[in-house]
Structures are given as structure tokens and as C-alpha cells.
């Protein structure tokens, strides 16, 4: 065995040179891997004993791509492109033996081999677009030559991987192999040699791209099909242009085009934001005082109290992950309705072909409905999702403390209430915490884990594991009104309510916020949620625009009238002059003088309160790090990932500039704009939020 580099070896077995890569955790193509492949090919080609070469990886996966951590650093030769040229030019057959995920540069490496084989569970993808990039080592030129431009567009500009069966069907791999991969690769190499198979050099394989030449409709149709999803992102368009290059240019020219388009993305702020978000998402589960080896509880059975909007969705998360769920309601009607909604959701999924009717029944069979809290005696975890009412929650937690086994975790899904106050009614506050899901709970990826003053490390570590099992992005936050996400959201909402009194219209605000990259503006969102959520007719005092709208029976989309009008069966908001008048009258009564509010001011007044409140949250230790807040906003509130999150965005603009605007608004609009001490401190030290991550 020859140790090529610290991450690669070459062994010769039965006339087959085996380049084996070992660069945990995901065999990313960092320098030692690139150099290892280059040297391995060189030596294997020179070695007369070697008749064919296999590239295989140790550990959990084939190469999962370029080493993202090297991006932005000075390049170290050989670059991946150079290594792949060496592979491409190999006069001896090369075979990529794939398990796990051949992603990004990993798949590009495999595409530069003459043959590819994979285990049945292997996944193949070019997910660079999700990092705001495109495959920059020939992937946009080679993949269309193998699978055709249409399929390549989907894999490159959307970035979703395909499994082994599909890979075989589209010609991306030559064989699916069972059993020991190395032995199968050696056997496959033997077959290639025995049959004297011609070497398939993808770069010279022009049939499929030539067939698409002149057919610009392929690209037009694809552009249209992703327009909604790709709104605001620059990478998908560059991906499409690169694939167009594969069709219209010779291979070498296509590579050049790919490089230009890649560098454009690499130097832009969107990819920087998306790469930051990739690592930030993996950082959230690392809590400084909760080491990896913290003991955990075994959770199998889950109890959920309340089968309303949240309880039902929460139950689905657990059932989807294979947990058994006991769902508690107060009345049979409510229970039936809740279970009915869950069933309907699954049936809709089944009708789209994403699960079978047997799966629907299997999932439903994991849920047992009951009207008795006593049935939670043997569950390992309870999540309470009843009305947002402190006395009710306290009453329930008091009962749970008596009913549930002594090491059961008791969680509340409260949006705003004090988790410590709830924990205090139990004799086991160390087992109490908040598990704050976002609506719709079965869809939204965010989960805030609210750490109470007395929550034990074991309980917190267990909650983090559960978060992963139910496929959420779980962010640990502390106790305060609204925790991290809603506390920041409330500040934005107050400011947007104010801005329409000063003269901006709801349509103007909604358009600006939508154009910024959010899925919808604040007033369309209010109409969608329902203006009467948390509003009571008896106590309403005409003291806000919302009060006035609700008092006049405008509840939002649900009754066709809110900040906007809605036609039956149509969600498109129609501006209503009557609402405009109501806002103007209210504003005049409050003493506002109408003025034109610029779009730029709306953006600042929408985003800067998030930054300022986020800084206060960090000061108070409610969140662990700025990037956690960004992950909350990306996954819970639709912040555009290409802008990295509010705290990343603050650094992008320049924290000193943000501070200057906060001060300007404090003088003009009031003390609620007073800059957080943390922002003042960071600016005075010439630092940004990034320095706290």
C-alpha cells in the first residue's frame, strides 16, 4: 500500500489499482484528497501491473463535494478541475465505486471516470445551487452529456439528488451492486478488462448535447417552471446558462463558460450568505455547556395535549418519525375533528403519489386519541398545545406532574408565556421546557427549544436529539416574552403598523417586503393568519387599525375582507379604498400628518428592528449566537436565505451604518429605536455579529 497523502492510499489487488480516500466526516475534496487522486492516477498509470483503476471512499460516504471551508481561501494546487483533467486523460479504465452521497465535486469526480457503479442506497447530486453556486469542476458540461440537458437542468438548477435506481435508468451509473463495494468494484473492473470495453470519456460524448442544439425551448420551459421557486436567487439562472453552454459550445469552451459563471457566483454575496447558512444550520445543535456525551433519555412514546392547529401538526411530525402518539382532547368532537385533519393531510400527500394508502393507515394507527389525561401515564414526552392561557397551562402541568412517570419530559408549545412559571407548578422543573413549533407544524422546519432556568442538561440534550429525529432545525433559546423569533417578529409588526399611519399603504409595504425576498408582506400575512387571532370583541377599544378592522367585521382572508378584499376561492389580495380611508381617519385622529414614505425607509423599518432586538436577545443570553437567530428567521419566518438572516444582513450592510440609522430613527421616531448596547460595543471595537459566531 502506498500512502499518497494523509487522506489517500493506493493499493494494487489482482491487477486493479485502488485509490482509497479517507477524509472524514464526508470525504470532502480538500487538498489532501485532490492531491491523492492526482498522484494515485499518475502512479497507477505508470505501474505496468495496474490494468484498471478504482476510486473508492472509506467511512460513511463517497466524496460529498468540494471542501466548502476552503472557499474564499487562496487556492492550493492541484485544483479540482486539474485533477479531473488527469482522470479524464487516463489511458487505463477508471471506475468510481460509490456509496453514501456522491455530491457536488464528488459527482463531478465520478463523472470524470470512465465507469460508475453504486450501492442501492447511494445518492447522486449536484447541490451547489443550494449554496448559491454551480458545479464548478465540469459538472455542468459532463452531466448533460450523460443524462441529457433536461435531466441535467433539474439536477443542477434545482439541486435535488437522485437515488441509485433512477441513476441507473438515466445512465448516470453503469451498475447497481450489492454486498462489499470494493469487491464489487474489482469484479466490475475485471469485467471491463475481460470484455475489452471501450473507455467512455464523458467529455467527448456529445450525442445528447448535440441533439438539443438549437432547441432553446428546453431552456425557456425550464426557466418558467422554476421561476416561482427561484425568485430572488441568482444561482439558478447561472446554472441554466452553464447547461446552455454545454449544448452550444465545444467541451473546452463550455468549461470556460462554466468557470466564468461560477466565479461570478463565488464572488457575490448570495453564495456567501448561503454557505454561511449551511454551516450555521449545523452549528445550532452545538450548545457550549452541553457536550456530545451528555446522557440522554430514551423517548419512544409521546403524548400531545390539544388536537387543534398546532397539536395535530406536531403529532404528524412524531408519527412520521415512527413514534407512537397519544393525543388528548376535551371533547370527542374536537378529537374527531383533529384526527380528521391529520388524516386529510396524509390523504392529500397520498393523492400526490408521495405515500401509499397503506402508509396513511400505518401512520394513523400510530395515533391513539383519548379524552383522559390519565392515559399519559406511560409516555416519555408530553407536548402541551392547548389555548394560550396561563391558568389553563398551569392546571394541566400540575396534573401531568401527578400523572406522568417521574422521568417523563413535560414540554409546552406556548408562543409567548413564561416557561419557568409553568415549570414551577411541577415538582420536576428540570424536566420541563418549551418545544415551540411553527405553524403549520408539520411543514415548517423550525423548532425553538426553550431552555427553562431549571431545565436539566439531559433533558435539553434529549430535546436536541428529538429535534433531529423529527427532521426539524432545532434552535435553543431562553425564556423571555416571545422567546427569540416572536420577540423579534413583534418589533417588526409594531413598526409596520406604525408606517401605515405615517402614510405608506399596506400595498406599498407588502410589495417592498415581498420584493426584499419574504414570501409575503406583513398585511397579507395578517389577513392569512386572521386579524381576530387574540382579538376580543368585548374588550376591543378602537385603539389600533386592527381593532377598527375587526370591529367592522373584517377578519382577513377567512371572511374575504381584512386589510384587503378577497374574491371567493381566490387568495389574491385586492386593495380596498375603504380600508385606506379607515387608516387615514384613524391616523388623523392620532395626530399623524401624512407623508410619502420611501421604499428604502420601509425596508429599514422592517429589518432594522429585527437586528436591534436580535442584539438585545444576544446581550441577555437568550440565544447562543447571532447565527442561531439567522437560522430562526430563515426557517421560521421566510427570511430569504440568500441574504443570510437579519444578523448576517447587518454585517453585510455594515454594522456602523445600521447603528447610524438606528440613532437617526431614535431621534426622529422615539426611544424604542435606541440602539442595543451590544451594537454600540461591536461598532466601537470595529467588529460585527460574525465575530460572535
Which residues are CB-contacts of 416 (< 8 A; sequence separation ≥ 6)?
A: 388, 481, 482, 483, 486
**Of the two residues 109 and 413, which places its CB atom closer to ligand NAI in the complex?**
413
Exposed / middle / buried, residue 692 (Cβ in 10 Å: 0-12, 13-18, 19+): middle
Kindly state the smallest distance separating residue 521's Cβ from ligand NAI, in Å: 18
Binding mask 422-451 for ligand NAI (x = CB under 6 A): ---------------xxx------------
Which residues are CB-contacts of 29 (< 8 A; sequence separation ≥ 6)?
A: 63, 65, 66, 67, 80, 105, 106, 109
Residue 308 found at the interface with ligand NAI (CB under 6 A): yes
Residue 386 found at the interface with ligand NAI (CB under 6 A): yes
C-beta of residue 551 within 8 angstroms of C-beta of residue 541: no
Distance CA 116, CA 112 (A): 10
**Of the two residues 259 and 337, which places its CB atom closer to ligand NAI in the complex?**
337
Give me the catalytic one of 6, 58, 70, 108: 108
**Of the two residues 394 and 663, which places its CB atom closer to ligand NAI in the complex?**
394
Exposed / middle / buried, residue 111 (Cβ in 10 Å: 0-12, 13-18, 19+): buried
Provide the strand spans (E) within 113-233. 115-118, 123-125, 162-163, 175-176
510 binds, among ligand 3HC, ligand NAI, none (CB under 5 to 8 A by kind): none
Q: Binder to ligand NAI among 307, 611, 647, 683 (CB under 6 A)?
A: 307
Distance CA 646, CA 615 (A): 10
Binding mask 34-73 for ligand 3HC (x = CB under 6 A): ------------------------------xxxxxx----
Residue 32 found at the interface with ligand 3HC (CB under 6 A): no
Residue 101 found at the interface with ligand 3HC (CB under 6 A): yes
DSSP letters, 209-257, are HHHHTT-THHHHHHHHHHTTTTTT-SHHHHHHHHHHHHHHS-HHHHHHH
State the helix-helix crossing angle for 646-653 and 655-669, rounded to 10 degrees.
100
Residue bearing cell 439536477: 155
Residue 626 found at the interface with ligand 3HC (CB under 6 A): no
DSSP 575: E
* Cα of 647 vs its chain's centroid, Å: 17
Kindly state the smallest distance separating residue 68's Cβ from ligand 3HC, in Å: 4
**63 strand-pairing partners:** none
136 binds, among ligand 3HC, ligand NAI, none (CB under 5 to 8 A by kind): ligand 3HC
Q: Which of the stretches 133-141, 397-405, 507-515, 642-650 binds ligand 3HC when contact is defined by CB under 6 A?
A: 133-141
Q: Binder to ligand 3HC among 36, 40, 93, 127 (CB under 6 A)?
A: 127
CA distances from 665 to 1, 337, 474, 607 (A): 68, 48, 34, 13
Q: Binder to ligand NAI among 388, 502, 601, 666 (CB under 6 A)?
A: 388
Q: Binder to ligand NAI among 8, 129, 272, 310 (CB under 6 A)?
A: 310
Kindly state the smallest distance separating residue 522's Cβ from ligand NAI, in Å: 15
334 binds, among ligand 3HC, ligand NAI, none (CB under 5 to 8 A by kind): ligand NAI
374 is catalytic: no
Residue 132 found at the interface with ligand 3HC (CB under 6 A): no
3-state DSSP assignment of residue 76 = coil
**# chain residues binding ligand NAI, by CB under 6 A:** 22
Q: Which of the stretches 124-132, 221-229, 336-344, 423-431 binds ligand 3HC when contact is defined by CB under 6 A?
A: 124-132
Residue 367 found at the interface with ligand NAI (CB under 6 A): no
Q: Count Cβ neighbours within 10 Å for each residue of 628-643 and write b for 16 or more, e otherwise.
A: bbbbbbbbbbebbbbb
Characterise 556 by phi-psi region: left (phi > 0), alpha (psi -120 to 50), beta (else): left
Residue 136 found at the interface with ligand 3HC (CB under 6 A): yes
128 is catalytic: yes
Q: Provide the binding-site residues for ligand 3HC, judged by CB under 6 A.
A: 25-26, 28, 64-69, 80, 101, 103-105, 108, 127-128, 131, 135-137, 139, 279, 282
Active-site annotation, residues? 108, 128
Residues that bind ligand NAI in the complex, under the rule CB under 6 A: 305-311, 328-330, 334, 385-388, 396, 413-415, 437-439
Amino acid at each position: 500500500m502506498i500512502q499518497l497523502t494523509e487522506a489517500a492510499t493506493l493499493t494494487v489487488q489482482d491487477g486493479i489499482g485502488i485509490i482509497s480516500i479517507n477524509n472524514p466526516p464526508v470525504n470532502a475534496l480538500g487538498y489532501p484528497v485532490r492531491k491523492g487522486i492526482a498522484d494515485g492516477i499518475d502512479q497507477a498509470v505508470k505501474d505496468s501491473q495496474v490494468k484498471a483503476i478504482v476510486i473508492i471512499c472509506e467511512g460513511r460516504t463517497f466524496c460529498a463535494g468540494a471542501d466548502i471551508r476552503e472557499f474564499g481561501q487562496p487556492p492550493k494546487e492541484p485544483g479540482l478541475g486539474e485533477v479531473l483533467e488527469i482522470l479524464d486523460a487516463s489511458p487505463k479504465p477508471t471506475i468510481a465505486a460509490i456509496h453514501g452521497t456522491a455530491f457536488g465535486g464528488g459527482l463531478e469526480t465520478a463523472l470524470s471516470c470512465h465507469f460508475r457503479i453504486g450501492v442501492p442506497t447511494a445518492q447522486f447530486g449536484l447541490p451547489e445551487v443550494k449554496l448559491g453556486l454551480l458545479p464548478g469542476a465540469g459538472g455542468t458540461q459532463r452531466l448533460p452529456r450523460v443524462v441529457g440537458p433536461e435531466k441535467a437542468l433539474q439536477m443542477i438548477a434545482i439541486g435535488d439528488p437522485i437515488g441509485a435506481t433512477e441513476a441507473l435508468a438515466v445512465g448516470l451509473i453503469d451498475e447497481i451492486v450489492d454486498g462489499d463495494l470494493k469487491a464489487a468494484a474489482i469484479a466490475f473492473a475485471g469485467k471491463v478488462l475481460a470484455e475489452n470495453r471501450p473507455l467512455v470519456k464523458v467529455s467527448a460524448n456529445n450525442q445528447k448535447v448535440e441533439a438539443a442544439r438549437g432547441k432553446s425551448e428546453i431552456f425557456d420551459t425550464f426557466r418558467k417552471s422554476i421561476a416561482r421557486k427561484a425568485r430572488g436567487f441568482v444561482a439558478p439562472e447561472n446554472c441554466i446558462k452553464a447547461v446552455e453552454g454545454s449544448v452550444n459550445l465545444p467541451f473546452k469552451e463550455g468549461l470556460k463558460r462554466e468557470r466564468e459563471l461560477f466565479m461570478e457566483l463565488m464572488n457575490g454575496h448570495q453564495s456567501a450568505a448561503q454557505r454561511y447558512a449551511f454551516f450555521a444550520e449545523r452549528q445550532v445543535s452545538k450548545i457550549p455547556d452541553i457536550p456530545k456525551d451528555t446522557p440522554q433519555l430514551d423517548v419512544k412514546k409521546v403524548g400531545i395535549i390539544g388536537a387543534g392547529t398546532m397539536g395535530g401538526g406536531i403529532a404528524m411530525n412524531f408519527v412520521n418519525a415512527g413514534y407512537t402518539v397519544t393525543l388528548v382532547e376535551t371533547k370527542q368532537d374536537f378529537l374527531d375533528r383533529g384526527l380528521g385533519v391529520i388524516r386529510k393531510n396524509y390523504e392529500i400527500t397520498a393523492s400526490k403519489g408521495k405515500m401509499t394508502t397503506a402508509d396513511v393507515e400505518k401512520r394513523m394507527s400510530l395515533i391513539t386519541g383519548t379524552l383522559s389525561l390519565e392515559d399519559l401515564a406511560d409516555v416519555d414526552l408530553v407536548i402541551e398545545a392547548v389555548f394560550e392561557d396561563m391558568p389553563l397551562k398551569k392546571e394541566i402541568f400540575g396534573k401531568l406532574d401527578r400523572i406522568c412517570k417521574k422521568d417523563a419530559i413535560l414540554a409546552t408549545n406556548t408562543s409567548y408565556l413564561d416557561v419557568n412559571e409553568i415549570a414551577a407548578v411541577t415538582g420536576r422543573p428540570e424536566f420541563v421546557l418549551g418545544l415551540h413549533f411553527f405553524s403549520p407544524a408539520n411543514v415548517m422546519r423550525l423548532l425553538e427549544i426553550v431552555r427553562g432556568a431549571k431545565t436539566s442538561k439531559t433533558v435539553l440534550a434529549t430535546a436536541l436529539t428529538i429535534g433531529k429525529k423529527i427532521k426539524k432545525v432545532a434552535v435553543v433559546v431562553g425564556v423571555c416574552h416571545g422567546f427569540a423569533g416572536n420577540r423579534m417578529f413583534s418589533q417588526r409588526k409594531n413598526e409596520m403598523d406604525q408606517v401605515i399611519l405615517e402614510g405608506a399603504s399596506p400595498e406599498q409595504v407588502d410589495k417592498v417586503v415581498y420584493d426584499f425576498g419574504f414570501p409575503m408582506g406583513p398585511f397579507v400575512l395578517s389577513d392569512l393568519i386572521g386579524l381576530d387571532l387574540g382579538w376580543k370583541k368585548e374588550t376591543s377599544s378602537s385603539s389600533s387599525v386592527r381593532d377598527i378592522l375587526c370591529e367592522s367585521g373584517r377578519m382577513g382572508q377567512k371572511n374575504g375582507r381584512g386589510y384587503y378584499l378577497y374574491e371567493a376561492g381566490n387568495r389574491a389580495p385586492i386593495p380596498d379604498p375603504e380600508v385606506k380611508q379607515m387608516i387615514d381617519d384613524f391616523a388623523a385622529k392620532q395626530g399623524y400628518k401624512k407623508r410619502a414614505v420611501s421604499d428604502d425607509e420601509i425596508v429599514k423599518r422592517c429589518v432594522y428592528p429585527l437586528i436591534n432586538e436580535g442584539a438585545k436577545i444576544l446581550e441577555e443570553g437568550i440565544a447562543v449566537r447571532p447565527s442561531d437567530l439567522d437560522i430562526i428567521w430563515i426557517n421560521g419566518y421566510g427570511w430569504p436565505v440568500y441574504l443570510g438572516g437579519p444578523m448576517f444582513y447587518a454585517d453585510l450592510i455594515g454594522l456602523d451604518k445600521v447603528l447610524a440609522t438606528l440613532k437617526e430613527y431614535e431621534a426622529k421616531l422615539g426611544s424604542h429605536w435606541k440602539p442595543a448596547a451590544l451594537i454600540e460595543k461591536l461598532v466601537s471595537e470595529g467588529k460585527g455579529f460574525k465575530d460572535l459566531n
